[in-house]
Amino acid sequence: MATVEERLQALEAEVEALKGKDAVRHVLSRYAVGVDGKRPDVLEVLFADEAVLSIPNWNIEVRGREAVMAFFDDYWARFDHPRRYYANEDISVRGRNAEAFMYWHVTQMRGEDSVLGWGSYEWTFRHVGERWLITKEVVHILAMTTLERGWAGEHALSSL
C-alpha cells in the first residue's frame, strides 16, 4: 500500500491534470468566440509566438502568431457569420504540455451561399506562466460545401 505522502503526491498530480484540462477547454472556448466573432483581440493571445496552423486539405501551413493571424484575417474576409461546434473532445495533459482531439462542425456564409463543413481538430498546447497557449492546430476537413451542392458524394469537399 502506498504511503500517505505517495498518495498525496498522486492526488496533487491528478488535480493539476484536471485543472489543465479545464484550462484547455477554456482556451478552446475562447478560440471559438474569437474566430466566430471575428475578434483578433481574443484570438491572438491564445497562440504561442511559434504557433503552427495547418490545413492539409487546402495545402496550408503557416508558422508564427503573426502568420496565423494573417490566415484568420483572410478567413474572415471570405466567410461571414461563422459558428463552430465541437464534439467528442479528448484532452490529455502531461505536465506543462497538452494535446486535444475533437470533431467540429461549422455553419457560415460566403456571399449569398450558406456553407457548412465538418472535420476534426488536432491541437497541442504548452503551459506558460499562468496560461495555456496553442502551439499547433491541425484542421482536417472532411466536408465543406454549400447547401445547394449538398453534403453527400464526391463534391462535398471543396476549396471554398
pLDDT in tens, 106-119: 999 999 999 999 99
pLDDT in tens, 69-84: 999 999 999 999 999 9
Of 3-12, 95-104, 106-115, where does mean pLDDT reach its minimum?
A: 3-12
DSSP H/E element including 116: strand 113-128
Separation of alpha carbons 147 and 7, rounded Å: 55
pLDDT for 159 beyond 90: no
pLDDT in tens, 50-71: 999 999 999 999 999 999 999 9
Cβ count within 10 A of residue 160: 15
pLDDT for 160 beyond 80: no
pLDDT for 17 beyond 90: no
The mean per-residue pLDDT over the stretch 14-31 comes to 94
Q: Are strands 113-128 and 131-146 parallel, antiparallel or unpaired?
A: antiparallel
